[in-house]
Structure 1
Amino acid sequence: MPRLTIDNIPVEVPAGTSVLEAAKQVGIWIPHFCYHPALGSVGACRLCAMKFLEGPVKGVQMSCMIPAQDGMVVSTTDGEAYRMRQLVIEWLMINHPHDCPVCDEGGECLLQDYTIAGGHGIRRYQGKKRTFNNQFLGPYIEHEMNRCIECYRCARFYQDFAGGSDFGVMGSAGRVYFGRFQDGPLQSPFSGNLVDICPTGVFTDKTARFRARYWDYQMAPSICPHCSLGCNTIPAARYRELLKIMARRNDAVNGWFICDRGRFEKSPVNDPARPRSPRIAGGEAGWDQALDALVGRIGEVAAIHGRDSIALVGSTRLPLEGLVMLPRLAEALGTATLCFFTETKEAERTMAAVRRLTPSNAASMADVQAADGVIVMACDLPAEGAMMALAVRQAWRKGAQIFAVEGGGEALTAELGVAVTGAASLAQVPLGKFKNPVIICGTGRADPATIEAAADTGAKVAFILPGANAFAAARLSAELGVCDLRTAVAGGKIKGIIAFEADVAADLLANLPLIAAADYLPSDLMVDAAVFLPATTTFEADGTFVNNEGRAQRFKKVMEPGVPVKGLDPALHPPHVHRLSPPGGEVFPSWQIIAALIERLGGVKIVEPLSGPWEKLRHLNADGGGVSIL
């Protein structure tokens, strides 16, 4: 490992580490724009200058482009290097519009930070500024080209990293332009990462435009709820409204980025039609009244048909805290039927996948990126697990061969530019020639036999599961030996359903004396339910998801629940009475709703849902990388 000295501090780093990264490891932060750990170095911005005093390299050099070597003595405070950085900032600011007061990047802008750090505070340039026309890039991203400092991060990410072809760099010299040939929505499913990766305000989140500054936001580490991959995010809220979602780095899962669905899909939280108060037979009611009514209806149905006629239904989007509480509610009811899935095929396929995963064969997205051969089976990966598709592209960029079995290759080629070799079956793929092969198998299309065949190859395997917490639902189903709701209903005994954040098909609800639900989504179930109880989203409470590889990850409460101030009815804003919660704020996590039912049924009061074998996850660090439960 190379050993060098930076500002009189000795440091030893792995071979290939740049001097810029070596400086970071000892707490020395040198301004830089074009360099990004996920994109590498190009030396375009010229801002990371250091003075190399001794060793194989001498003079003022760009530290992002120089690998650390034995014997190097480097100074970041040398007057020549400091002056170089100061002048670079000055020429970058020559054409910048200085529009910080109206820029959504204000408060989280690297150009602001590095301008101050570089000591540039007085404008000497008196000439005319270069200006550009902005483009319409779709409903999600705002374009302000005048703020560009030509670091090339956007083009390198969009074209090289993500494989997009409808955005890039045009022009030359001082007229370089980053955009499209013509106005139109960006086509890449990862285009929203331009917002995070741009060090200035060229690309900003249009959905949160002019709504808040960085210091105004309520933020907390969270997990994306939209698929089974468990990408790490930082949601930002203000005035009870989820304004935007940013990527949070986790090298083992999503790396630095997230997909556009995870970034821009905020409607379940902010939807004006979202249920925010308990209902009895469609009419609004108080919590005590609704819970008492539900307990009463449970007693009536149980007295006539038996307690096993009542099905308690969880789902693949219900957090772990809610899933582990369902068996305790079933115990409080007596012999209630317990279901973690609503559909038979979904349950069988997910359980087959989870059953075959082990600590040695479960593949993370980091494993996919490091593979030399990737086989994609029975799934449209960009649609079902976009960030996994991005991981496949990184493997392909490093030289891996990509195979598609049972379709799915067309989408990888069309949306991410990945060259894919088609194969009629898994047997036709020459797995033996690869040192680190990974199989990615969708459970939405593949039958249990195909899933087991993928797991039996000896290669690492990544299954695309049907929901954010499908792994935990399958694990609990197997441990408790319970069936899915459709199978239970087909048996003829089910006369009542109590669903917790579950999507239940209409035919399963026909002719049932009791339908009750707890959820945050408006649905037909909300309308049909005799008792409906509003639940929090993943942004309004702490909780745990287990992703497709069996990695348990904690998400934290981001915001207080309630009707957003922007959407308040004029009669409710401002409120004319003192109240303990904001309008629409009396919603609770599903596990707390279950706990309240258990207490009303004569059980003990539960204040902590994770107990027994799950107790080790109780204090899981949300800022960490998660822990495997395999």
Structure 2
Amino acid sequence: MPKLIIDHITVEVPAGTSVLEAAKTVGIWIPHFCYHPALGSVGACRLCAVKLLDGPVKGIQMSCMLPAQDGMVVSTTDPDALKMRSLVIEWLMTNHPHDCPVCDEGGECLLQDYTVAGGHGIRRFEGKKRTHVNQELGPYIQHEMNRCIQCYRCVRFYQEYAGGSDFGVMGSARRVYYGRFQEGTLESPFSGNLVDICPTGVFTDKTARFRARYWDYEMAPSVCPWCSLGCNTVPAARYRELLKTMARENPAVNGHFICDRGRFGNAAVNDPARPRVPLVDGEEVSWDAALDALMLRVTELGDTYGPGSLAVVGSPRLALEGNILLARLAEALGAGHLCYFAGREEGARVSAAASLLSGSNAASMADVRNADCVVILEADLRAEGPMMLLAVRQAWRHGAPVFLVGNHSPLDQARTVSMEAIELSFLEEVPLAIFERPVVICGTRNNTPAAIELLARAEAKIACLLPGPNAFGAGLLAQEHGSVSLEEAVASGGVKGIIAIEADIPEDLPARVPFLVAADWLPTETVRQAGIVLPTAAWVEADGTYVNNEGRAQRFRKAMASGFPIRGLPARYHASPDKPVPFHPPRVHRSAPPGGEPRPAWRIVAELTKRCGGDTVAEPFEGRWEVLRGLDPEGKGVRLQP
């Protein structure tokens, strides 16, 4: 391993590490624009200049392009290096519009930081600025080309990393332009990453434009709930409204990026139709009144239909804490059925996948990115897990062949990321044995449980795409308690009441059940049909844990308070109900914000358990789950064993 000295600090790093990355390991930050850990080095911005005082190379060099070597003596503070960086910043700012006061990147802009850090504070250029015309790039991305510093990050990500073909760089010298040949919505399902990867304000989140500055946001480490991959995110909220979602790095899972579904899926949290207050037969009531009514009706149900006529139902989208406590609630209520899945087939597929995967054969997205052969079995990754498709592209870029196996693995998914793939009919046709690091990605929407179980014979690591962010955890609990699906429970004829905790019940089932309670934060059909509705907090409004498709438990933190967004307050909360929806909250002192009644699902389950005579629950993680206590929300997570 090369050993060098950076600013009088001895550093030893693996061979091939750049001087820039070597400096990071000892806390020395060298300014840079074009370099990105996921994209590598191109030396385009010339800002990472350092001076080598001794060793095999000497003089001013670009640290991102220079591999660390034995005997190097590097100075990041040498006057020559500082002068070089100052001049680079100055010429980059020559045509910049200096519009920081109206730029959404303000407060999180590398150009701001490095301009100040580089010592460029006085503008000497008095000529005419070069200007560009912006493009309309769709509903999500705002384009402000005049702020560009030609670092090439955007086009390198979009074309090379994500395989997009409708966005690129045009022109030459000072006339370089980044955009499309014609205006139009960006086609890549990963286009939102341009917002995060751009070091200036060229690409910003249009959905949150002019809504807040970086320092105004309420933020916390979180996990994306829109598929089973468990990508790490940072939700950003203000005034009880989720404004935008940013990618959070986790090398073992999503790396540096997220898909557009996870980035722009904020509407559900801000939906004014969300359950916000407890309802009994459509009437707003207090929490105590709703819980009292629930307990009374459960008692009447038992008296009328006998013990065991009640089913308690969780789901793959309910956080692990709530799913764990469902067993206690079912026991305290004397429920005849404990269910973690609504459909028979869904439960069987997830249970088969959870049984198949262990610590040795479960493939993470990092494993997929490093694979030398990838098989996509009966899956369309665009629908079941978009970030997995991006991981497959990285393996293909490094030479791994990609095989699409089965009738439900369309070639169009490969074309979406400009990737070549070989179509086959059967898994046995893939020569897995000749590869060292093969991975089979199995969809569970179109595979049978028996087909999933047969993957145990495959000489490869396995990644199964599941139907929800906590489907793996629900599968483990279903096995632990020997539970059946709700469909099977109702088919047995004994179910007359259902308590559904963030569960999606098939539309035909409630019609066959006279008593239905729904605790949820989404305005689902189950909520609309329920006699009693208990509003739960969305994932950004509470702490919780999801177990992703590989069995990795990850903690997410509360990022915002529950309640109506200020811009969406119903007229009844305003002094003049006849006016349009107000843009200012009512000037009334309250102990809680309007619509702030939702509670975390697991606390609702714990309260119901207590009212049934059960023990008070202070900590959901006990027994085999104790390993998850104190789980670091900013760590890589903990792998669970089936």
Query: Which TM bucket (shorter chain)?
Result: over 0.9
| 1:285 and 2:285 are equivalent in the alignment | yes
Q: Out of 603, 609, 621, which is 2:614 matched to? A: 603
SS in 2 for 1:307: coil
Native 8 Å contact 1:167 1:180 kept in 2: yes
SS in 2 for 1:304: helix
2:122 alignment counterpart? 122
Instruction: Give the whole-Å Cα distance in 1 for the aligned partners of 2:588 and 2:620.
Output: 35
Instruction: Give the whole-Å Cα distance in 2 for the aligned partners of 1:370 and 1:525.
Output: 42
| 1:43 and 2:43 are equivalent in the alignment | yes
Instruction: Give the whole-Å Cα distance in 1 for the aligned partners of 2:399 and 2:379.
Output: 22
SS in 2 for 1:545: strand
2:246 alignment counterpart? 246
2:592 alignment counterpart? 581
2:401 alignment counterpart? 401
1:475 alignment counterpart? 476
Instruction: Give the whole-Å Cα distance in 2 for the aligned partners of 1:306 and 1:571.
Output: 43
Instruction: Give the whole-Å Cα distance in 2 for the aligned partners of 1:12 and 1:577.
Output: 61
Matched AA of 1:118: G
Q: Which runs of 4+ in 1 moved over 4 A?
A: none
SS in 2 for 1:46: coil
TM-score, normalising length: structure 1:
0.99
Instruction: Give the whole-Å Cα distance in 2 for the aligned partners of 1:111 and 1:530.
Output: 55
1:517 alignment counterpart? 518
The structural deviation recorded for 1:607 is 2.2
After superposing the two structures, state which structure 1 stretch, 127-136 or 446-455, moved more: 446-455
Native 8 Å contact 1:403 1:409 kept in 2: no
Native 8 Å contact 1:368 1:391 kept in 2: yes
Instruction: Give the whole-Å Cα distance in 1 for the aligned partners of 2:316 and 2:19.
Output: 46
The structural deviation recorded for 1:577 is 3.9
**Taking structure 1 as reference, are residues 102 and 588 closer, same or farther at Cα in structure 2, changes over 3 Å only?**
same
2:157 alignment counterpart? 157
Instruction: Give the whole-Å Cα distance in 1 for the aligned partners of 2:517 and 2:335.
Output: 18
2:577 alignment counterpart? none
What does 1:131-280 correspond to in 2, within 5 Å?
131-280=131-280
The structural deviation recorded for 1:571 is 4.5
1:2 alignment counterpart? 2
Which deviations, in whole Å up to 9, do the C-alpha atoms of 1:411-444 show, x marking residues without a partner? 3322101110111100000111101100000011
| 1:623 and 2:634 are equivalent in the alignment | yes
What does 1:428-577 correspond to in 2, within 5 Å?
428-573=429-574, 574-577=585-588
SS in 2 for 1:510: helix
Which deviations, in whole Å up to 9, do the C-alpha atoms of 1:561-620 show, x marking residues without a partner? 000011113542543543211000011011111111112212222222222221221210
Instruction: Give the whole-Å Cα distance in 1 for the aligned partners of 2:134 and 2:145.
Output: 6
SS in 2 for 1:291: helix
Native 8 Å contact 1:237 1:243 kept in 2: yes
1:593 alignment counterpart? 604
Native 8 Å contact 2:433 2:459 kept in 1: no
Instruction: Give the whole-Å Cα distance in 1 for the aligned partners of 2:74 and 2:609.
Output: 66
The structural deviation recorded for 1:304 is 1.7
Which deviations, in whole Å up to 9, do the C-alpha atoms of 1:213-237 show, x marking residues without a partner? 0000000000000000000000000
1:56 alignment counterpart? 56
The structural deviation recorded for 1:454 is 1.9
The structural deviation recorded for 1:409 is 4.4
Matched AA of 1:149: I
Native 8 Å contact 1:301 1:513 kept in 2: no
SS in 1 for 2:606: helix
Instruction: Give the whole-Å Cα distance in 2 for the aligned partners of 1:629 and 1:451.
Output: 19
After superposing the two structures, state which structure 1 stretch, 579-588 or 605-614, moved more: 605-614
Instruction: Give the whole-Å Cα distance in 2 for the aligned partners of 1:311 and 1:262.
Output: 32
Which deviations, in whole Å up to 9, do the C-alpha atoms of 1:339-398 show, x marking residues without a partner? 000001101111001101111100000000111000000110122111111000000001
Instruction: Give the whole-Å Cα distance in 2 for the aligned partners of 1:571 and 1:487.
Output: 44
Native 8 Å contact 2:432 2:459 kept in 1: no
1:322 alignment counterpart? 322
The structural deviation recorded for 1:299 is 0.6
The structural deviation recorded for 1:28 is 1.1
The structural deviation recorded for 1:274 is 0.8
Native 8 Å contact 1:390 1:416 kept in 2: yes
Native 8 Å contact 2:411 2:423 kept in 1: no
Native 8 Å contact 1:382 1:411 kept in 2: no
Which deviations, in whole Å up to 9, do the C-alpha atoms of 1:267-288 show, x marking residues without a partner? 2210011110111111211111
1:423 alignment counterpart? 424
Which deviations, in whole Å up to 9, do the C-alpha atoms of 1:285-316 show, x marking residues without a partner? 11111111111111111112123110001000
Native 8 Å contact 1:236 1:558 kept in 2: yes
The CA RMSD measured in Å over matched residues stands at 1.0
Q: Name structure 1 gaps, 5 residues minimum.
A: none
The structural deviation recorded for 1:73 is 1.1
SS in 2 for 1:295: helix
Native 8 Å contact 2:311 2:335 kept in 1: no
Aligned residues: 630
SS in 2 for 1:65: coil
Instruction: Give the whole-Å Cα distance in 2 for the aligned partners of 1:576 and 1:76.
Output: 55
Instruction: Give the whole-Å Cα distance in 2 for the aligned partners of 1:511 and 1:352.
Output: 29
Instruction: Give the whole-Å Cα distance in 1 for the aligned partners of 2:474 and 2:220.
Output: 25
2:578 alignment counterpart? none
2:33 alignment counterpart? 33
SS in 2 for 1:624: coil
Amino-acid identity (%): 65
SS in 1 for 2:64: helix
Instruction: Give the whole-Å Cα distance in 1 for the aligned partners of 2:456 and 2:255.
Output: 25
Instruction: Give the whole-Å Cα distance in 1 for the aligned partners of 2:335 and 2:214.
Output: 51
2:384 alignment counterpart? 384
Instruction: Give the whole-Å Cα distance in 2 for the aligned partners of 1:254 and 1:586.
Output: 33
Matched AA of 1:620: L
Instruction: Give the whole-Å Cα distance in 1 for the aligned partners of 2:57 and 2:451.
Output: 56
Native 8 Å contact 2:47 2:89 kept in 1: yes
Native 8 Å contact 1:409 1:420 kept in 2: no
The structural deviation recorded for 1:81 is 1.2
Matched AA of 1:190: F
Instruction: Give the whole-Å Cα distance in 1 for the aligned partners of 2:400 and 2:195.
Output: 29
Instruction: Give the whole-Å Cα distance in 2 for the aligned partners of 1:319 and 1:267.
Output: 20
Q: Name structure 2 gaps, 5 residues minimum.
A: 575-584
Native 8 Å contact 1:518 1:535 kept in 2: yes
SS in 1 for 2:275: coil
TM-score, normalising length: structure 2:
0.97
Instruction: Give the whole-Å Cα distance in 2 for the aligned partners of 1:446 and 1:48.
Output: 50
Which deviations, in whole Å up to 9, do the C-alpha atoms of 1:103-142 show, x marking residues without a partner? 0000000000000010000000000000000000000000
Native 8 Å contact 2:312 2:335 kept in 1: no
**Taking structure 1 as reference, are residues 201 and 328 closer, same or farther at Cα in structure 2, changes over 3 Å only?**
same
SS in 2 for 1:85: helix
The structural deviation recorded for 1:336 is 2.9
SS in 2 for 1:80: helix
Instruction: Give the whole-Å Cα distance in 1 for the aligned partners of 2:228 and 2:361.
Output: 17
Instruction: Give the whole-Å Cα distance in 2 for the aligned partners of 1:395 and 1:23.
Output: 28
